[in-house]
Amino acid sequence: MDFLVRHWAVYSRRFPSSCPLQGLGFIRDKDSWVRGTFTTCNFSLILRGEGEFHRKGRSWPVLGPCVITQWPGDWLEYGPSLPDGTWDELYLMYDAVHMPALRKSGLVKERRPIWPIHNFDRVQSQIEELYGLINGGHPEMMADRVDRVCERLVLETLLPKLETGDEVIQKIQSQLRQQLDREHDFEELAQRCGMSPSTFRRRWFQALKTTPGRYLLDLRIQKARRMLAETTLDVGEIASRTGFEDRLYFSRRFKLETALSPTEYRERYRIRRV
């Protein structure tokens, strides 16, 4: 990235966001500390490097990739490790009047001044998209797009990892998603993967914070909901395709999970072709 600072508040928006960007900047090899207060609401993405962040008498270690935040009126001290550390920082600035909107969206929480970036590959992809918009010419035509990309960028830093981190569990997840219409014996799956049933259940719960049976049921109900809304297939056929041999049991289970019968769900959420 070769842009330093861009001011975006000057450009009119055709489709105003609730959180229009005021400005942004990129600092490569930052080697100085910031000490003071801000009048804006800022998200600083530390893409590389490490240091410290001090706010309201508390200190946090900074280890990129991560996000540090600056809220209006807070006295802050932060920067790369002394005496000769550096970091790369992309910062996004919002007018303080948009704090309520940022707070309502969940992007701002005063008790969460710093957090790690887990999906760094996806964050980098968003940054590349942002970089393309900024350097694509005609900034007055890009302001709406920049607002949305920046909002997605901050959101991506907050989302958990897409992967479980356990390759065996990921493989089984993929198998379940592709074979929802089949019966699955989890003890047999565990043995095929060289695990005892208890080890399998423990690793599954560590990775996904739910049981295998609950995970499979959620996948089946999710697919059934989509099929009810997107297709005209008979309820019995949908039950069969989502692994429920008995239509009546499917209907009872579906209502227990969604508070609506399959027919009621279809009537409420059916996608009508135009």
CA gap 24, 16 in Å, rounded: 18
* pLDDT digit string, tens, across residues 74-93: 999 999 998 999 999 999 99
Question: Which domains are delineated in the chain?
Answer: 5-158 (2.60.120.280), 167-269 (1.10.10.60)
DSSP run (H or E) holding 146: helix 139-158
CA distance 63 to 49: 6
The model scores a pTM over 0.85: no
User: pLDDT tens digit string along 34-67?
Assistant: 999 999 999 999 999 999 999 999 999 999 999 9
Count of C-beta atoms within a 10 Å radius of residue 29 = 12
Residues contacting residue 174 through CB under 8 Å, at least 6 positions apart: none
H/E element holding 266? helix 262-269
Q: What is the pLDDT of residue 1?
A: 46
β-bridge partners, 214: none
Residue 80, classed as helix, strand or coil, is: strand
Angle at which helix 212-230 crosses helix 197-208, to 10 degrees, equals: 60
